Amino acid sequence: MHLNGTIALFQYWNRLRDGGPAPRRTEVEPADIKTLLADTFILEKDTRGEAVFRLAGTRLCAIYGRELKGFSFPSLWREKDQRLVARLIHGVFRQQSVVLITYEGFSRAGRSIRFELLALPLDGGAEHPRCLGIISTAEKPFWLGADPITDALIDSIRVIDPDRDPIFLGNRPAINVPSLAPTDLEGPRTIAEFGRARRIRHLVVLDGGREE
């Protein structure tokens, strides 16, 4: 984690869970993270099992040029990355994984900017899983919020074990995942397998499976 907002939300979530897999969603107090609210979001599953925005901060809505509530979360990315994003967030819901994604966003006018996204599980019960997250950027160009982000490509993914990994992860290499990975992965896989991925030249190798 490199950005202050990402680190601050992780620390808050980590304190709330107090050694458990995830804090209860009722434990999150907006007043406690008021300086982060414009960049935060909460996801839930819709009737089809897809991750959608339950809530989204005002700055996020401005960045994407729309009200995000009820909007499909994976659809923020280019089609070839959507399957991977959906599986990662499914892991947050079902396995209470912690996921860190860096990605490049592209605006309607062709400008680009890099984002850091953190997805954290919330305990809402088996029938109502939730995900608390934040999208941050180190840059604040003049056009951000006026020229909407309409496309995105994943740069890297890290699946974090909050009980073993240090809070400040900037000194650890991320997992670089080419955009073609989600369309080429076949067969059932768990979210933990992404944490065991390694890069060999242009290939992504998932330990315990075949090479892609």
Provide mean pLDDT across the span 199-206. Answer: 34
Per-residue pLDDT at 165 = 63
pTM of the predicted model as reported, rounded to 2 decimal places: 0.78
Highest mean pLDDT among 123-132, 137-146, 175-184: 137-146
The 10s digit of each residue's pLDDT in 41-80 is 999 999 888 999 999 999 999 999 999 999 999 999 999 8
Q: Cα–Cα–Cα angle for 181, 69, 56, nearest 5°?
A: 80
State the pLDDT confidence band at 149, using cuts at 50, 70 and 90: very high
Q: What secondary structure does DSSP assign to 47-92, as a single string?
A: TTS-EEEEEE-HHHHHHHTS--TT-BSGGGS-HHHHHHHHHHHHHH
Residues 135 and 115: beta-carbon distance below 8 Å: yes
Range with the lowest mean pLDDT among 143-152, 155-164, 167-176? 167-176
Better-scored residue on pLDDT, 201 or 90: 90
Q: Between the CA of residue 141 and those of 11, 93, 111, 112, 205, what are the distances in Å?
A: 27, 33, 10, 10, 36
The mean pLDDT value of the chain amounts to 81
β-partners of residue 130 are 44, 122
Residues in the chain: 212
Nearest-angstrom CA–CA distance, 162 and 169? 11
